[in-house]
Amino acid sequence: MKQGVFKISLNEKLTDNVYKMVLVGDTSDITACGQFINIKLDGLYLRRPISVCDCDETSVTIIYKVVGIGTEQMSEMTVGDTLDVLTGLGNGYDLSLSGDKPVLLGGGVGVPPLYMLAKELKKQGKDVSVVLGFNTADEVFYEDEFKALGCKVTVTTVDGSYGVKGFVTNAYPENYTYFYTCGPEPMLKSVYKTATTSGQMSFEERMGCGFGACMGCSCKTIAGYKRICKDGPVMLKEEILWED
Amino acid sequence: MGRLSVNLCGIEIDNPIIPASGTFGFGYEFAELYDINCLGTFSFKGTTKDARFGNPTPRIAECTAGMINAVGLQNPGVEKVISEELPKLSKCFNKKVMANISGFAVPDYAYTCELLDKQEQVGWLEVNVSCPNVHGGGMSFGTSPEAAAEVVRAVKAVTTKPVIVKLSPNVTDIVAIAKACEEAGADAISLINTMLGMRIDLKTRKPVIANKMGGFSGPAIFPVAVRMVYQVSHAVNIPVIGMGGVSCAEDVIEMMLAGATAVEVGAANLINPYACRDIIDDLPRVMAKYGIDSLSDIIGGVK
């Protein structure tokens, strides 16, 4: 983990309430796909944890949905503004288990962390399929970006206004070797039940610190108690213990 | 003695800064970020007789200038704290640590304290009396002078190290409880624990926290903490450790003027993981600004 000041170089609208922000600063502690950063905002006490969508030596890209006062404040920031950010948080996805034909299943703002994962898997020469799930056509983002990486992309919408009608679980590719997923909990549960291979899931929870100190985001797993921020957010399918 | 050092129950600490229990784990997470030997000491994660998962999530809610937590004393239990956590801590911290103990029955407190009292690394026992008493109708030990004193007597009977009683602010007469603890043999008082709070989500019309209520901490509660430290320190003849919303070196000075011998820093560690180190580094500048030669001189400076 590292604390640093980052300068906004881009903050643009992707859909009605989803924004893409690029932050320039020291990214040396971001070491795995699926990690997150924790952003301090003026006048708000707790930091905002947001997953890393992409990252290079000098900048980190995040995609966030405006859901409350913090993300609303972020959406109003402009190029050149600075943010105090903790980087390199969370474990991230383990790429070594992917097999040759992994499928990446993302729902809504669960899509962004899969982008960097897809990029890395493609670099390793994997045949990557991506299923992006949204409620409706207006909410769709990053389809072209995943295609540009050379992934096979399927979009699903709940109302059928774009792509395959239904959920990501209606669009598994054939003969996939492993799955990686991130999205709302009902979607994760559905993937857990329907996927025919092993895989990894990224979880979300209200966090206090984001770096393992406060025990605010603990969950029970088959491997014992884990902190979603520090021991997660990514868990293996085999260790997940659903509470209800 | 150095300009920053203070004497806490017979143990001299290099400075009065103590990360508060529940915000600093067992230290080693923070040792990856900075050398935690710069601290006066720290109070480790609240430890109970048996392992606890704690409350369901969400356990955290944001507030204006603060936060609510309802973690519910998640910890691996005293045996594992001794066999697993303390050995890890000994690799990165060479000072005496403050053991923080909670319980739900008087014998549980005594059991946990007796085991931790025997640990070489432990310098002080900080006994949290804010937990519900399962044999007393669920009322917190810390809300009754008699119940708090009973815990103190039971712990003192089986330990040799200084016993610090950590008091809840959710009471009508904090002074009466502090005095009862002093009479029962407490070596020091620390206060304030979190204030009971609640937030409601307007969209769902449900409490933000699964447990409905939780402990409110952060800068918003600082004035309440200063007031209670002032009241208690003027009523007892044992040291008082002040805490509650302390975020900067100026807050430390204010707490000490109110009567605190040492100062715990809690929620600030969660927002800025370097908070305690930064406060210690900044203390000499603030002392110079207000003409303070030695911190121990200003304890209880406000009459």
What confidence category does residue B131 fall into, taking pLDDT thresholds of 50, 70 and 90?
A: confident
Q: Which residue matches tokens 């050379």?
A: A150
Within an 8 Å CB–CB cutoff, is residue B174 touching chain A?
Answer: no
Side chain identity at residue A89, one-letter code = L
Task: For residues A244 and A170, state if they share a domain.
Answer: no
Inter-chain residue contact A44 with B62, CB threshold 8 Å: yes
Q: How many CB atoms lie within 10 A of CB B16?
A: 28
Say which of A3, A47, A214 has its CB closest to residue B23: A214
- B83, A61 Cβ separation under 8 angstroms: no
Q: Kindly state the greatest CA–CA separation across chain B.
A: 56
Q: Which of B286, B217, B210, B209 is nearest to B246 (CA)?
A: B217
Q: How many helices (H) and strands (E) does chain B have?
A: 10, 15
Is the pLDDT confidence value at B1 over 90?
A: no
Say which of A44, A208, A218 has its CB closest to residue B270: A208
Tokens of A30: 């971001």
B6-54+72-196+217-298 CATH choice from 3.20.20.140, 3.40.50.1370, 3.40.50.1820, 3.20.20.70: 3.20.20.70
Q: Which residues of A touch B53 (CB under 8 A)?
A: 218, 220, 225
Inter-chain residue contact B69 with A208, CB threshold 8 Å: yes
Mean pLDDT, chain B, whole residue set: 96
Residue pLDDT, tens place only, B162-210: 999 999 999 999 999 999 999 999 999 999 999 999 999 999 999 999 9
Within an 8 Å CB–CB cutoff, is residue A209 touching chain B?
Answer: yes
- A201, A240 Cβ separation under 8 angstroms: yes
Residue pLDDT, tens place only, B94-110: 999 999 999 999 999 99
The pLDDT score that the predictor gives to residue B106 is 95
Angstrom CA distances, B89 to A16, A149, B286, stand at 49, 45, 31
Inter-chain residue contact A45 with B218, CB threshold 8 Å: yes
- B69, B214 Cβ separation under 8 angstroms: yes
Between CA A44 and CA A50, with CA A47 as vertex, the angle to 5 degrees is 130
Residues B30, B39: Cα–Cα separation, whole Å: 11
Least CA distance to A67: which residue of chain B? B203
Boundary of a domain, candidates A89, A117, A134: A89
The pLDDT score that the predictor gives to residue B135 is 74
Q: Which residues of B touch A208 (CB under 8 A)?
A: 59-60, 67, 69, 270
Within an 8 Å CB–CB cutoff, is residue A66 touching chain B?
Answer: no
The domain that holds A216 is classified in CATH as 2.10.240.10
Say which of A1, A40, A45 has its CB closest to residue B62: A45
Percent of chain B with pLDDT over 90: 95
Inter-chain residue contact A208 with B60, CB threshold 8 Å: yes
Among B23, B47, B57, the strongest candidate for a mutation testing the A interface, having the largest count of A CBs within 10 A, is: B57
Q: Which residues of B touch A225 (CB under 8 A)?
A: 53, 74
Say which of A213, A218, A230 has its CB closest to residue B57: A218
* Interface pTM, i.e. ipTM: 0.93
Inter-chain residue contact A215 with B45, CB threshold 8 Å: yes
Exactly one of B9, B113, B131, B276 is catalytic; name it.
Answer: B131
The pLDDT score that the predictor gives to residue B120 is 97
Closest chain B C-alpha to A156 CA, distance in angstroms: 27
Angstrom CA distances, A178 to A96, A174, A184, stand at 11, 11, 20
Is the pLDDT confidence value at B137 over 80?
A: no
Q: What is the pTM of this model?
A: 0.94
DSSP secondary structure letters along A179-227:
EEEES-HHHHHHHHHH-SS-EEEE-----SSSSSSS-TTEEEETTEEEE
Q: Kindly state the greatest CA–CA separation across chain A.
A: 50
Least CA distance to A1: which residue of chain B? B33
The pLDDT score that the predictor gives to residue B138 is 66
Length of chain B: 303
Please confirm, yes or no, whether B131 is among the known catalytic residues.
yes
Domain extent for A218: 203-244
Task: For residues A83 and A121, state if they share a domain.
Answer: no
Residues B303, A29: Cα–Cα separation, whole Å: 50
Is the pLDDT confidence value at B59 over 80?
A: yes
The pLDDT score that the predictor gives to residue B81 is 98
Residues B287, A41: Cα–Cα separation, whole Å: 30
Task: For residues A85 and A116, state if they share a domain.
Answer: no
Task: For residues A48 and A106, state if they share a domain.
Answer: no
A/B interface, count of CB pairs below 8 Å: 88
- B40, B16 Cβ separation under 8 angstroms: yes
The domain that holds A75 is classified in CATH as 2.40.30.10
Within an 8 Å CB–CB cutoff, is residue B60 touching chain A?
Answer: yes
Boundary of a domain, candidates A161, A177, A197: A197
Say which of B29, B62, B74 has its CB closest to residue A212: B29
The pLDDT score that the predictor gives to residue B123 is 98
Residues B125, B114: Cα–Cα separation, whole Å: 10
Q: Where are the domains of chain B?
A: 6-54+72-196+217-298
Inter-chain residue contact B63 with A40, CB threshold 8 Å: no
Is the pLDDT confidence value at B302 over 70?
A: yes
Is the pLDDT confidence value at B231 over 70?
A: yes
Task: For residues A222 and A191, state if they share a domain.
Answer: no
Is the pLDDT confidence value at B267 over 80?
A: yes
Task: For residues A140 and A58, state if they share a domain.
Answer: no
Q: Which residues of A touch B58 (CB under 8 A)?
A: 205-206
pLDDT, tens digit only, all 244 positions of chain A: 999 999 999 999 999 999 999 999 999 999 999 999 999 999 999 999 999 999 999 999 999 999 999 999 999 999 999 999 999 999 999 999 999 999 999 999 999 999 999 999 999 999 999 999 999 999 999 999 999 999 999 999 999 999 999 999 999 999 999 999 999 999 999 999 999 999 999 999 999 999 999 999 999 999 899 999 999 999 999 999 987 6
Which uninterrupted H or E stretch holds B115? helix B106-117
Among A85, A203, A209, the strongest candidate for a mutation testing the B interface, having the largest count of B CBs within 10 A, is: A209
Within an 8 Å CB–CB cutoff, is residue A40 touching chain B?
Answer: yes
Residues B53, A219: Cα–Cα separation, whole Å: 9
Task: For residues A192 and A237, state if they share a domain.
Answer: no
Task: For residues A172 and A102, state if they share a domain.
Answer: yes
Number of domains in chain A: 3
Torsion of CA A73, A77, A82, A84, to 10 degrees: 20
Within an 8 Å CB–CB cutoff, is residue A68 touching chain B?
Answer: no
Task: For residues A11 and A85, state if they share a domain.
Answer: yes
Q: Which residues of A touch B63 (CB under 8 A)?
A: 45
Task: For residues A85 and A99, state if they share a domain.
Answer: no
Residues B248, B268: Cα–Cα separation, whole Å: 9
Residues B281, B266: Cα–Cα separation, whole Å: 17
Task: For residues A116 and A185, state if they share a domain.
Answer: yes
Within an 8 Å CB–CB cutoff, is residue A86 touching chain B?
Answer: yes
Task: For residues A31 and A125, state if they share a domain.
Answer: no
